[in-house]
Amino acid sequence: MVETALRSEVAVAVLRLLMAYQRQLPSGDTCRELPCAACDEPHLRKITAAMATGREIQLVLPAFPAKSPNRAKTISHLPDMAERVALEFLQSLCDRIERLYPPGARFVICSDGRVFGDLIGVPDEAVTAYRRELVAMIDQIGAERLDVFDLDDVHLGVDDHAAMREHLVTHYAQSLESVRAEVKAGDKALSIYRGMTRFLFEDQLGPGYEGSRAAALREARRRAYGVIQRSRAWGSLLAERFPDAVRLSIHPQPCGADKLGILLMETADGWLTPWHGVAVVTDGRTELVKRSDAERLGATLVRRGGRPSHYVLSRLTG
Ligand SMILES: [Zn+2]
């Protein structure tokens, strides 16, 4: 009875708005019907709880870790037009939620570069610079409903990044052995592991890499366990820190998951994230592609504020 009362039309409307950008699994654990009650339930509960006290709805999104170090995919180690488009999109979701529910919603972008930078080949200085520029970009575009939170915020005043990671693993992580056992058992952990290995492998093979492909693959397989371990630890820390927040993810989620997989761009149609690619503007439409693909298509690099920003391509002029 209480639950029925909590399922207000407004809460459902807010959820539908977010679900319009749901990132779903291509097959397997998909929903029987849409809208899907099992998928709605965990998020609707959080949204209605926030509304019951007139609070801003908190949306926790682990994302925007750092730019991929593979310069065949990205143009620099700093946020560029690709991030800007995604940030504008997230702010626009908040603008639309505010129209439905005036206290609105707020994204807490939980930048996880510090959590596994050492495993993905991104130095801590690059993680720091990426976050600094991301915050500056949010400020510049006036995205007042976007916050950034990372491991540095858990350890204010501390400079030792390795110690922060060690603390995270000690207090929040499962053992590497148990991650390996899960992967070995197959199923969902195995597919996550394979996806992670592919990303790590590709990211190593940028221009300037001098090792063999076999060595890169071995290294990627080794590191993938650590990335999974720390990502999950980061998720546990976030759950503790933001218990009332709707938990979002950039990865597709199975039906009924406590996380909601969402897209980061209105026009997103692939798997690429802003930090694994570049923005290409073609006759007004912005898409994310790998840098090497933009260049192969003959797109022209555009600089903004003295830095490489994005590519433009005209279908009319070729
Ligand atoms: Zn479902």
Å from CA of 256 to ligand 1 middle: 5
Neighbours of ion ligand 1 (CB under 5 A): 31, 36, 38-39, 255
Give counts: helices (H), strands (E), the chain: 12, 9
Å from CA of 176 to ligand 1 middle: 31
How buried is 39 (Cβ within 10 angstroms: 0-12 exposed, 13-18 middle, 19+ buried)? Answer: buried
pLDDT per position as a tens digit, 121-161: 999 999 999 999 999 999 999 999 999 999 999 999 999 99
The predicted model gives 212-232 an average pLDDT of: 95
pLDDT per position as a tens digit, 88-121: 999 999 999 999 999 999 999 999 999 999 999 9
Read out DSSP for 53-115? TTPPEEEEE-------S-TTT-S-SS--HHHHHHHHHHHHHHHHHHHHSTT-EEEEEE--HHH
Cis peptide before 35 (omega within 30 of 0): yes
Å from CA of 34 to ligand 1 middle: 7
User: Would you state the structure tokens that stand for residue 85, as one six-digit string?
Assistant: 């488009």
Taking residue 145's Cβ as centre, other Cβ atoms within 10 Å add up to: 20
Task: Find the distance separating the first CA and the last CA of the chain, reported in whole Å.
Answer: 62
Å from CA of 39 to ligand 1 middle: 4
Å from CA of 114 to ligand 1 middle: 32
- pLDDT number for residue 129: 98
Å from CA of 130 to ligand 1 middle: 35
DSSP 8-state secondary structure symbol assigned to residue 276 = G
Å from CA of 44 to ligand 1 middle: 13
Å from CA of 28 to ligand 1 middle: 11
- Cα dihedral 231, 259, 188, 191 sign: negative
Å from CA of 40 to ligand 1 middle: 7
